[in-house]
């Protein structure tokens, strides 16, 4: 486990408008574009690395027995990219007017460099310029898309370096879970003396972000006084009353959800979406996994080593990172940071076994890091105890301003390479906010690519329908805290998740999520559903849910949609956006249109609409590998100077290999899933020109 310390005498808030910035009323109606700042021309070189021999432990793991999950791809790996020295992204370019941009695409690039998968006409994917010029059909005749800081390690807070080994279970090596934090004493380690929290510790100033105005609708959580005996008693009484009210409401919600789900299943007038194509042998397989919420359990079960890194943010929270260490690829490749969405944790990305994106990237040779937001896994604060309401006084803005930059800066300091970032929902939306003006656009220089899956920027329709529409009326923070408390939102849900059997909670959660968000399990493998809902929902701050339901839902967007000035500076890395047309929580199409029309600095490479995808299908969908993950790998392997160079995707497709990735002729063994065939006819169906 890595250790580090925070340093800063003063936490600067760049999200508030500067005192000399022009008034918002005057800038809202301005149609004058800001010119892109000049940047150094990019240079890049490439070197080759030698492959490391897999050890015996790797050969014995479930994935390795089949030759590796991505053996069908036949690609080079992420280490080849890691060997190339990092260079600045952008080259000098003139300001692009709206009319010129429609011909040239984003950042003045040629229109043929942009792949647009948004549905048009008969629903076939199109490849086009950023603003719609030069579209041509790329599919075969009868195929349709979608079928398938400055921290130091020498003082301050410290952590144990490694947990001791224990008896392996279910394959892989299991380690004892680490309980290293004391609620009353701060951070403690098994072998390391504790360093007390020092609020006057010197902090090095961070670099100032670029000038400009932040056009985001931000909520600022309240500041609570220190607890006295009387205020603590009143707090606990208020929390007890809130727990009783929310428990009664939750019981009513469960009864309503079960009745509604049963009615929809029996009604001839309600039509469920068509089920995704699931291989029957894959659906019947037995892996021996437990229903666990621990990220390290899944990583080690599937034959990898897990490193645990604790990172301190500038405002004193500790966030946990998990690093997947492949026994096959001893030399780490290009770093990838993957962040989760609302009410989730890093384990949410690992529920689909070998089809999970982190495992795919690890097999590909990438150095995979899984992020978590503050308070996940009961991570502490250097000053506030967990019962203090100030420990829970944070929301969307704090994740973007502190958590995400701390993760990126830590990984960059460890690897010395630019990072590829994947975010789902809140994990993608908070990076968009962090990279916007007056927030933390400076971290964009440490990013190579950004894949946004269902980014939480524009609000979806479920927030305006019953029963969530009721919560939108609690606009007063005092009333909200009276009903939902000042700590964790709906604690009864996490208690039920903890004490009910996994199969029972999972099958109750499906109707509840169907009633709340309109979710359908049509893209999920049925045997994995209890495992999904062992990792979702995760207890989050009541203040965070107040932002979503009483700010985000009312304003319809994280940013001010009336502003015609760019939201993002030129530091935003090359970008891909994936969104589902059946997603009721967020909307992706308005974000794509906004980038096309008003964001000349944004290098949008891929925009893909998936007609049958809902919000969680990007993580749990049975066809997410073909529909999303291969495009993410393609984005990572693009370079600014070789955009149209033929790659292994086209080579694999021309060989005509099967798109059935997990095809088996008989039920697989308990620990040895068989892989035969390969993906890549699905590239043709996903819209690639072959």
- Report CA torsion sign: 379, 384, 389, 391: negative
The pLDDT-based confidence of 323 (bands split at 50, 70, 90) is very high
Rg of the chain taking only CA atoms, in angstroms: 24
Question: Where do the structural domains in the chain lie, given as residue ranges?
Answer: 33-148+169-177+247-686
Least trusted range by pLDDT, from 26-40, 185-199, 383-397:
185-199
How far is the CA of 57 from the CAs of 61, 171, 300, 391, in angstroms?
Answer: 6, 10, 12, 42
Average pLDDT over residues 434-461: 96
- Structure tokens given for 243: 């727990």
Which residues contact residue 627 at a Cβ distance below 8 angstroms, ignoring those fewer than 6 apart? 146, 148, 610, 613, 621, 682, 686
- Report CA torsion sign: 431, 436, 82, 106: positive
Nearest to 616 by CA among 582, 577, 660: 582
Q: Report the distance separating Cα 79 and Cα 50, nearest Å.
A: 9
- Maximum alpha-carbon separation in the chain: 74
Residues 395, 216: contact at Cβ < 8 Å?
no
329-350 pLDDT, tens per residue?
Answer: 878 899 999 999 999 999 999 9
Query: What is the predicted pLDDT for the residue at 30?
Result: 36
**Helices of type H across 599-641:** 617-620, 624, 630-637
How far is the CA of 459 from the CAs of 4, 133, 436, 465, 585, in angstroms?
Answer: 37, 29, 18, 12, 6
Distance between start and end Cα atoms, the chain: 45
Query: What is the predicted pLDDT for the residue at 545?
Result: 96
Place of tokens 């079928």: 147
Q: Report the distance separating Cα 290 and Cα 414, nearest Å.
A: 32
Q: Report the distance separating Cα 360 and Cα 354, nearest Å.
A: 7
189-238 pLDDT, tens per residue?
Answer: 333 333 333 434 444 344 334 345 678 888 889 999 999 999 999 999 99
Spacing of C-alpha 47 from chain mean position: 31
How far is the CA of 121 from the CAs of 66, 125, 361, 395, 679, in angstroms?
Answer: 42, 9, 34, 40, 27
Spacing of C-alpha 362 from chain mean position: 17
Beta strand 335-339 pairing with 574-580: unpaired
- Structure tokens given for 514: 């169907």
- Structure tokens given for 550: 């009483």
Evaluate if residue 162 carries a pLDDT over 80.
no
- Structure tokens given for 574: 């090359």
Decide: helix, strand or coil at residue 588.
coil
Q: Report the distance separating Cα 105 and Cα 50, nearest Å.
A: 38
DSSP state of 440: -
Least trusted range by pLDDT, from 55-59, 172-176, 319-323, 494-498:
172-176
Q: Summarize the chain as % helix, strand, coil (round to 5).
A: 35, 10, 50
Length of the chain: 690
491-550 pLDDT, tens per residue?
Answer: 999 999 999 998 999 999 999 999 999 999 999 999 999 999 999 999 999 999 999 999
251-276 pLDDT, tens per residue?
Answer: 999 999 999 999 999 999 999 999 98
CATH code of the domain occupying 33-148+169-177+247-686: 3.40.50.1820
Place of tokens 């997990």: 662
Which residues contact residue 205 at a Cβ distance below 8 angstroms, ignoring those fewer than 6 apart? 8, 10, 12
387-416 pLDDT, tens per residue?
Answer: 999 999 999 999 999 999 999 999 999 999
Evaluate if residue 29 carries a pLDDT over 50.
no
281-317 pLDDT, tens per residue?
Answer: 888 898 999 999 999 999 999 999 999 999 999 999 9
Which residues contact residue 375 at a Cβ distance below 8 angstroms, ignoring those fewer than 6 apart? 317, 391, 392, 539, 540, 541
- Buried residues in 565-592 as b, exposed as e (16+ CB within 10 A): bbbbbbbbbbbbbbbbbbbbbbbbbbbb
């Amino acid at each position: 486990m890595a250790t580090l310390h925070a340093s800063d005498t003063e936490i600067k808030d760049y999200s508030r408008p500067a005192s000399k910035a022009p008034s918002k009323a005057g800038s809202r109606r301005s149609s004058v574009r800001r010119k892109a700042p000049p940047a150094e021309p990019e240079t890049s070189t490439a070197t080759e690395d030698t492959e490391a021999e897999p050890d015996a432990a790797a050969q014995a793991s479930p994935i390795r027995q089949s030759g590796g999950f991505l053996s069908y791809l036949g690609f080079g790996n992420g280490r080849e990219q890691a060997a190339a020295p990092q260079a600045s992204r952008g080259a000098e370019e003139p300001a692009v007017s709206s009319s010129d941009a429609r011909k040239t695409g984003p950042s003045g690039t040629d229109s043929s460099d942009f792949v647009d998968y948004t549905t048009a006409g008969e629903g076939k994917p199109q490849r086009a310029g950023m603003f719609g010029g030069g579209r041509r059909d790329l599919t075969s005749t009868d195929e349709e898309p979608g079928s398938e800081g400055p921290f130091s390690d020498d003082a301050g807070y410290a952590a144990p370096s490694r947990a001791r080994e224990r008896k392996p279970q279910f394959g892989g090596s299991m380690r004892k879970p680490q309980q290293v934090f004391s609620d009353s004493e701060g951070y403690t380690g098994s072998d390391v003396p504790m360093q007390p929290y020092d609020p006057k510790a010197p902090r090095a100033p961070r670099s100032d972000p670029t000038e400009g105005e932040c056009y985001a609708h931000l909520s600022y959580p309240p500041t609570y006084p220190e607890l006295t005996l009387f205020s603590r008693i009143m707090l606990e009484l208020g929390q007890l009353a809130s727990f009783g009210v929310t428990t009664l409401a939750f019981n009513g919600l469960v009864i309503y959800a079960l009745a509604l789900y049963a009615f929809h299943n029996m009604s001839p007038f309600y039509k469920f979406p068509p089920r995704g194509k699931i291989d029957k042998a894959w659906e019947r397989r037995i892996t021996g996994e437990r229903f666990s919420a621990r990220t390290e359990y899944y990583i080690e079960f599937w034959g990898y080593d897990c490193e645990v890194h604790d990172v301190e943010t500038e405002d004193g929270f500790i966030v946990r990172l998990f690093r997947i260490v492949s026994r096959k690829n001893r030399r780490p490749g290009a770093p990838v940071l993957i962040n989760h969405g609302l009410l989730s944790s890093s384990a949410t990305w690992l529920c689909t076994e070998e089809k999970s994106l982190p495992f795919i990237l690890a097999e590909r040779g990438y150095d995979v890091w899984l992020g978590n937001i503050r308070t996940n896994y009961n991570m502490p604060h250097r000053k506030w105890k967990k019962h203090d309401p100030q420990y829970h006084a944070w929301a969307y803005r704090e994740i973007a301003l502190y958590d995400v930059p701390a993760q990126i800066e830590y990984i960059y300091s460890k690897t010395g390479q630019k990072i590829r970032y994947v975010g789902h929902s809140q994990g993608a939306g908070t990076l968009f906010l962090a990279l916007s003006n007056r927030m933390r656009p400076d971290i964009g220089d440490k990013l190579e690519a950004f894949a946004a899956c269902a980014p939480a920027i524009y609000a979806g329709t479920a927030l305006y329908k019953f029963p969530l529409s009721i919560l939108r009326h609690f606009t007063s923070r005092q009333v909200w805290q009276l009903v939902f408390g000042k700590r964790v939102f709906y604690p009864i849900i996490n208690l039920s998740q903890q004490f009910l059997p996994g199969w029972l909670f999972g099958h109750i959660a499906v109707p509840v999520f169907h009633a709340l968000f309109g979710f359908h399990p049509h893209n999920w493998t049925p045997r994995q559903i209890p495992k999904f809902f062992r990792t979702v929902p995760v207890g989050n701050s009541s203040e965070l849910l107040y932002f979503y339901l009483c700010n985000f839902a009312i304003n319809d967007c994280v940013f001010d949609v009336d502003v015609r000035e760019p939201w993002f500076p030129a530091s935003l890395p090359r970008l891909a956006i994936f969104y589902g047309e059946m997603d009721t929580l967020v909307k992706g199409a308005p974000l794509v249109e906004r980038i096309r029309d008003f964001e000349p600095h944004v290098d949008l490479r891929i925009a893909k609409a998936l007609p049958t995808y809902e919000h969680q299908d990007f993580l749990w969908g049975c066809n997410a590998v073909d529909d999303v993950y291969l495009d993410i790998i393609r984005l990572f392997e693009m370079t600014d100077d070789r955009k149209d160079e033929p790659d292994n995707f086209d080579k694999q497709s021309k060989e005509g290999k099967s798109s059935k990735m997990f095809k088996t002729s008989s039920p697989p063994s308990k620990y040895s899933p068989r892989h035969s065939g390969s993906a890549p006819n699905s590239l043709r169906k996903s819209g690639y020109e072959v």
